[in-house]
A and B are shown apart, each in its own frame.
Chain A
Amino acid sequence: MMNADSSIAIAHDRFIAIAHDRFAEAGTPLGGVRLPWLESLRRDALERFRRTGFPTTKVEAWKFTNLAPLARTDFVEAIAQGVADIATAVVDGYRLTPDCHLAVFVDGRFQPALSDLGRLPAGTRVVSLSQADEADLRLVTAPPAVDDAPSARALVEFNTALMQDGVVVHLGRGAVLDPVQLLFLTRPGAAPRVAHVRNLLVAEAGSSATVVETHVGLGRGVYWTNAVTQVVVASNAVLRHYKLQAEDEAAFHTAATSVRLQRNSAYRAFMLSLGARLARNELDVLLAGENGEARLAGATLARGDQHLDTTLRVEHATARASSDQDFRNVVDGRAHAVFQGRIRVAPDAQKTDARQINRSLLLSPAAVADSKPELEILADDVRCSHGATVGDLDKDVLFYLRARGLDEAEARATLIDAFVGELLDGIEGEPAQAYLRRAFADWTRKGARP
């Protein structure tokens, strides 16, 4: 433990040095314009990151996930300027539907030529962060949706200091955008690269959208995607946000999504996490208005030596909001799945209805699952519950299936299909559901390989 921590400290100094070089060179403008407030925001963020350093496993929120392998890696920045040399056919292979609205990023940079944003409906805007106007950019100053120790937030600070590009999705009042895909492709290079991606999703009152976010690695190699997404769902708006994390198995993926829900709004998220050597998906949801509804679900599929972490914090700040979390892990090989989920009900957030369930299937002798479901309840008139289970497939059910003629492999596959499929059924919108089903099927097929 001592060794890991000290190596993080050394790595941390190196990261700081690189960041200072960046500031010295260009002041890290966005969109080629220097914004004094943004520069000072970045400097402050860097200062906070300098103070806390990379989170170690001594930080409660990072107890189960050790960033030492990431911190030990020498990353160079993925400043791939100009047009990426990627065939449209490659992009099409990951596209949600042939005619969906599409924003493509390669190595963290927006690619207009590969994107398809020419037919956006009225009242909607999808632009790259580097082309965003100052008003859009202001959202990056929003405080985190849910409180945690500064040391737990270090990667977000680091992102703020160094963010280069990302996407702004803006839905005007009553606008409908269904669906739009944000496709992040990374080509592993000779040296490990890092991309600090920043996305801003704003759904104004009464709007409705489906946003599908895909992260894919093109080829084998070490790289790091550090994404931060800030989301605001205004009153009576509905945002469906589905994410497929299918990075290369040598990559690092860290992502923090921070969602603020106003009165009568709904946020429905699904996260399918199956790529990366080490991934951490954080999702923070603040129910800031009455009758807000957050429905969060996800499946983590881990095998080999993968370490995949899902960390949720749901905060009920007002009365009469509801939240539901259903997260499942399938863990094979020597992989390690982590689930942390916190429900916090603030004083006076009466009539809160909050549920959480985490189920883990361990498929191999060396697989590991850690689960920390957490309730923090400060109002009395609430209905809150959580549950967690860890174990192998039910032997009785396996036997039943085999008694009906399936061999063991088929029987196991059937049960795993059902375990994940049940969750996929809950995804709204046929294209998104079919897309994630395909990703799950691909994962299953790969596993069946000898």
Chain B
Amino acid sequence: MVASPQTVETIRALAGDYKYGFVTDIESELAPKGLNEETIRFISAKKQEPAWLLEWRLKAFRVWQQHQDHEPTWARVRYPKIDYQDIHYYAAPKSKDRPKSLDEVDPELLETYEKLGIPLREREALAGVAVDAVFDSISVATTFKDKLKEMGIIFCSISEAVREHPELVRKYLGSVVPYSDNFFATLNSAVFSDGSFVYVPPGVRCPMELSTYFRINARSSGQFERTLIIADKGSYVSYLEGCTAPMRDENQLHAAVVELVALEDAEIRYATVQNWYPGDKDGKGGIYNFVTKRGACRGARSRISWTQVETGSAITWKYPSVILQGDDSVGQFYSVAVTNNWQQADTGTKMIHIGRNTRSTIISKGISAGHGQNTYRGLVRVLPRAENARNYSQCDSLLIGPHCGGHTVPYIEVKNRSARVEHEATTSKIGEDQLFYCRQRGLSEEEAVAMIVNGFCREVLQKLPMEFAVEAQKLLGVSLEGSVG
């Protein structure tokens, strides 16, 4: 059975409902369009970086130059060729110096974050969530810094970390995602402008959620933030990331890199609610989200979990991965990806089992509506030394309407017989009988769809911190409102 005409109409009516699509009117400082060594020197100089970092960027740029005609093509996403010379690689809200406290932050910016539902002031005062807000390429405010500092936790922009904690940055930057890793990561290594940095010292349990909100505002600009989180021995940190962008007819590039390092007995939880502008109902505009996220469980018994709710972006290309080096380390990946209208998502994970008794879990829920195309692509690799490695993967696709697609491409490579690897996947649509049942109890078709989809995603949503879970649930409803028949 296919979607009823009303359904299709509702989906249409929905497009344009992107409520984060406003533009902040603020003066920005832009690097000239185009990418060459000069651009990189410009960015590095703007940020007053040490020589070693400039050198690192330039090395990355040279690698990228060699491969610039070899954008990866293996993902199931289609988009016109990106002109890498037609992008501003640096855009920053104009202000003399980085604000020392929220009082010094441009009121326009604070208002922007209010509108996004991220009241920086309030959070500092009440919510107990430390926020680093990145506007275009620049970190504009980090809250709760002092309180964290008392515990030895460093939470600041990566530019600041380069200045204040060069030994840590130099030791770990590129240690999980090397500058030559892949096309987009290499580009990021050359031009990254800002991002967040976290270091949790040995034995410290970070008492609050750390959170970064990313916002693209400037026209024709790319955003290339770089996040580095290090959890030292026996420490714990939970980190949240949210993303929005204005509605623009052009496609904007977002190529971020996130590196996580968990040492012995440390745990990092990383959650993302990605709601970049997805483009309009005809597929015009929207963010190209090409992101490399990887964590290394370096120490024994370390744990890294990725939870993502991906509802935005015209194209999503990301595979948050875990390298399970330490014995008894654990990697987890929980994902919800929604594609509606003409959105395309190719997302999944890699779990690389190197150490003994390493365990990984993958739960992926893909939902497609309209002309959306949703691909789960994942790798589970068990290397010869990984005695007793365990993996369980469950990938479910839900299809809404006759023009969308849901695809599952798992790669399973096992080189140790004591491993146990299980993968299951199903594809289905929302049952007519389920819809009728809900409607018989008084729910509208739209409410019924939202409820069934939320149920479908429950295992993943449960992994989000409470405050994000509610936001994510609403987001799912908005992204799919009334999309079934």
Contact = CB atoms under 8 A, between A and B. Distances in A.
A25 B420 CA distance: 56
Contact of A385 (B402, B404, B420, B425): B425
A390 B399 contact: no
A348 B417 contact: no
Interface in B385-430: 397, 399-429
B52 interface: no
Given A369-B414, A370-B413, A381-B1, A386 B403 contact: no
Nearest to A378: B405
A347 B402 CA distance: 7
B125 interface: no
A382 B397 CA distance: 11
B74 A370 contact: no
Interface stretch (A137-145, A360-368, A434-442): A360-368
Closest 5 CB pairs of A and B: A362-B417, A380-B399, A391-B420, A371-B412, A375-B408
A255 B195 CA distance: 52
Interface of A: 60, 63-64, 347-348, 350, 360, 362-392
A386 B417 contact: no
Contact of B422 (A60, A347, A372, A389): A389
B427 A385 contact: yes
Contact of A388 (B384, B402, B412, B428): B412
A181 B395 CA distance: 42
B2 interface: yes
A5 B269 CA distance: 41
Contact of B423 (A63, A369, A387, A392): A387
A235 B300 CA distance: 61
A325 B179 CA distance: 42
B409 A372 contact: yes
Contacts of B419: 362, 390-391
B408 A390 contact: no
A385 B417 contact: no
Given A362-B417, A365-B416, A372-B412, A377 B399 contact: yes
B411 A375 contact: no
B426 A370 contact: no
8 contacts: A60-B74, A347-B402, A360-B414, A377-B427, A385-B425, A387-B424, A388-B410, A390-B414
B67 to A, nearest CB: 14
Interface string B423-461: 111111100000000000000000000000000000000
Given A372-B409, A377-B399, A389 B417 contact: no
A367 B429 contact: no
A362 B342 CA distance: 43
B423 A384 contact: no
B425 A380 contact: no
Given A362-B416, A371-B413, A380-B429, 4 more contacts: A368-B413, A373-B410, A378-B404, A381-B429
Contacts of A63: 411
Interface residues of B, number: 38
Contact of B425 (A364, A378, A387): A387
Contact of B402 (A348, A374, A387): A348
Contacts of B410: 371-374, 388
Interface of B: 1-3, 74, 382, 384, 397, 399-429
B400 A377 contact: no
Nearest to B424: A387
SS class of chain A's interface: helix, strand, loop or mixed? strand
B409 to A, nearest CB: 5
Contacts of A362: 414, 416-417, 419
Contacts of B421: 388-391
A96 B468 CA distance: 65
B420 A375 contact: no
Interface core residue of A360, A366, A386, A390 (most chain B CB under 10 Å): A390
A104 B114 CA distance: 80
A380 B2 CA distance: 7
Given A350-B2, A389-B422, A368 B414 contact: yes
B417 A392 contact: yes
Contacts of A387: 422-425
A379 B402 contact: yes
B259 to A, nearest CB: 26
Contacts of A370: 411-414
B420 A376 contact: no
Nearest to A394: B420
Contacts of B429: 380-382
A114 to B, nearest CB: 43
Nearest to B407: A376
A378 B448 CA distance: 24
Nearest to B375: A376
Contacts of B74: 60
A372 B411 contact: yes
A418 B203 CA distance: 51
B373 to A, nearest CB: 9
A382 B402 CA distance: 11
Contacts of B400: 380
A341 B224 CA distance: 37
A261 to B, nearest CB: 21
Contacts of B402: 347-348, 350, 379-381
B93 to A, nearest CB: 44
A370 B381 CA distance: 9
A377 B422 contact: no
A371 B425 CA distance: 14
Contacts of B397: 375, 377
A384 B406 CA distance: 11
B101 to A, nearest CB: 53
A363 B414 CA distance: 12
A368 B427 contact: no
B417 to A, nearest CB: 3
Nearest to A361: B417
Contacts of B425: 373, 375, 385-387
B409 A374 contact: yes
Nearest to B421: A390
A347 B401 CA distance: 11
A382 B427 contact: yes
A235 B413 CA distance: 40
Contacts of B409: 372, 374-375
- In this complex, the member of A60, A347, A382, A389 whose beta carbon has the largest number of chain B beta carbons within 10 angstroms is A389
B345 to A, nearest CB: 14
A382 B429 CA distance: 7
Given A370-B412, A372-B411, A378-B405, A363 B417 contact: yes
A389 B423 contact: yes
Residue among A347, A366, A384 with max Cβ neighbours from chain B (10 Å): A384
A348 B401 CA distance: 11
Nearest to A354: B427
Nearest to A356: B425
B423 A391 contact: no
